[in-house]
Amino acid sequence: MKKTALFLIPFLFFMIAISQSVPLRADAQASKASEVALLQDTVTTVKAKVVSIESEEVRAVPGTDITSNYQTIKVRILEGAEKDKTITVANDYLSLKKGETFYLTITIRGEDGREMYAVSEPYRLPAVLFFVGLFIALVIIFGGIQGIRGLLSLAGSLILIIYVLLPGVLHGYSPVLVSLGVAALIIIVGSYITHGFNKTTSAAVIGMIVTIAFTGVLAYAAVHWSRLSGFSNEEAVYLNLDTRGSIDFVGLLLGGILIGLLGVLYDVAIGQAISVEELNRVAPHLPRSVIFKRSIRIGREHIGALVNTLAIAYVGVSLPLLLLYMKSSDSSIALTLNRELFATEIIRTMIGSIGLVLAVPITTLIAVWMLMKRENDASEEDSVSAEKIAKEQEAIEHVGHSH
């Protein structure tokens, strides 16, 4: 297994090199479009700073009963071709304060070359970088060497997604196959970086890969049976237009389900492999069958917590959508759940949860087989005091009933 993992390192770099050697299809199309459409508007986004607030008032949004804050602001451009230029901008999108930095969109019309300015986004990077830094610091302080390994694993996963998965899909390769390959690489690279090259990690890796394979088959059946198109949100529609229909969005949905499962699946598989290792270490007299049953007992507690976590996480992301439908929709519950937007999230949650449940017995079985060297479990079980095993089992059941 160690040799296999070492072989995958140059393979990983080879895939990254290949993905970078071919120009992205979206970039090539954009370049071609810019050559043909000579009168197309030119849009750039730059940082700017509010010099002063010239005026500010509350106005009604036309056609609604909603009011919005309307500002006339004087700003100074901080970067780009018009750096240090001071302009006046009408702003009805985002309330800004004097001295605040934000992103400004500059549109140069292709017809007459006239410049138009609009407030685009607040400058959020300082806050984002602060909390990223805080997260890294806490992981290093309280996680020690394992925390550092976890951060390296996270960085490796992001590199695989950005430089292999995304370019592969944009190049026109099957999203399902690319996602499966990247998922396997994330599992292998992340696991060995974090937990080192040992049999416990290898058992967890094999368990995760087998679980991903089973889950992929179920996801394929679920998506096609429920006839999901992959166009449940606006981003998919825009991407389809931008790539001129070259991406398989059903496959992209399947790939997203598999990649989204990796985080919690990793937790379950490593936990089960370690539980087998520890039980075998403290009770080497027990046969494989008993260790398997007791590790499954630990896994049941894990399943209950993680399935709830996964479902609630999806609900949390969809809160604005749920509130919108509860407020404005007069459709029945059945019709609402049948809509692709909701059906997609339900299928995603159910497939992910099924994957978590399957990971427990699969990884436990593989870990018991790999970590416990038993030539004859039956004879060893007979040699162990039946009374001792019964007392241990009774103690475990007593702990379970106390929950």
Q: Are residues 115 and 147 in the same domain?
A: no
| Residue 58 confidence (pLDDT) above 80 | yes
| Residue 176 confidence (pLDDT) above 80 | yes
Residue 135 located in a structural domain: no
Q: Are residues 287 and 204 in the same domain?
A: yes
Parent domain of 103: 42-126
Confidence of residue 51 (pLDDT cuts 50, 70, 90): very high
- Per-residue pLDDT, 390: 62
- Per-residue pLDDT, 126: 92
Mean pLDDT score across all residues of the chain:
79
Q: What's the CATH code of the domain at 60?
A: 2.40.50
* Pick from 92, 103, 88: nearest CA to 56: 92
Spell out the long-range contacts of 64-72 with Cβ–Cβ below 8 A and sequence spacing 24 or more.
Answer: 68/92, 69/95, 71/95, 71/96
State how far the Cα of 271 lies from the Cα of 41, in Å rounded to an integer: 55
Q: Are residues 105 and 153 in the same domain?
A: no
Q: Are residues 323 and 351 in the same domain?
A: yes
Residue of higher predicted confidence among 211 and 94:
211
Q: Are residues 238 and 379 in the same domain?
A: yes
The model's pLDDT over 262-283, given as tens digits with 9 standing for 90+, comes to: 877 888 888 899 989 888 888 7
C-alpha atoms less than 13 angstroms from C-alpha of 89 in its C-beta half-sphere: 30
- Per-residue pLDDT, 262: 83
Q: Are residues 118 and 207 in the same domain?
A: no
Q: What's the CATH code of the domain at 371?
A: 1.20.1640
DSSP letters, 20-86, are: HHSPPHHHHHHHHHHHH-TT--EEEEEEEEEEEEEEEEEEEPTTSS-EEEEEEEEEEE-SSTTTT-E
Of 241-255, 268-282, 309-323, where does mean pLDDT reach its minimum?
Answer: 309-323
- Per-residue pLDDT, 266: 82
Residue 217 located in a structural domain: yes
Residue 18 located in a structural domain: no
What is the domain count for the chain? 2
